[in-house]
Amino acid sequence: MKFFPLYETAPGAGTYQLGSAEIEAVSTSAAVAIAAQSAPEGCRTGVWPYKAVAGLPDSQEPAADEVGKLYDVLSQPTGPTGTFAPSGQVFGSFSTDASGMALSLERFFGFRLGLIPQGEKPAPAATPAPASSSGTTSAAATTSGSASTVSSGGSATPAG
The total of other beta-carbon atoms located within 10 Å of residue 2's CB is: 16
Instruction: Return d(Cα 20, Cα 29) in angstroms, integer.
Output: 19
Contact 48, 114 (CB under 8 A): yes
**3-state class percentages of the chain: helix first, strand second, coil last, to nearest 5:** 15, 30, 55
pLDDT digits (tens, 9 = 90+) for 48-88: 998 765 655 666 778 888 999 999 999 998 877 789 999 99
pLDDT averaged over every residue in the chain: 78
Instruction: Return d(Cα 22, Cα 148) in angstroms, integer.
Output: 12
pLDDT of residue 126: 60
User: Structural domain boundaries of the chain?
Assistant: 2-117
Which positions of the chain have pLDDT values less than 50?
128-160
Q: Is 25 exposed, middle or buried, given 0-12, 13-18 or 19+ CB atoms closer than 10 A?
A: buried
pLDDT of residue 53: 58
Q: What is the DSSP letter of 86?
A: E
Cross-strand partners of 122: none
Instruction: Return d(Cα 62, Cα 1) in angstroms, integer.
Output: 11
pLDDT of residue 19: 92
DSSP 104-146: HHHHHHTSEEEEEETTPPPPPPPPPPPP-TTS-B--EEEEETT
* Residue of 150, 126, 130, 132 lying closest to 140 (CA atoms): 150
pLDDT of residue 150: 35
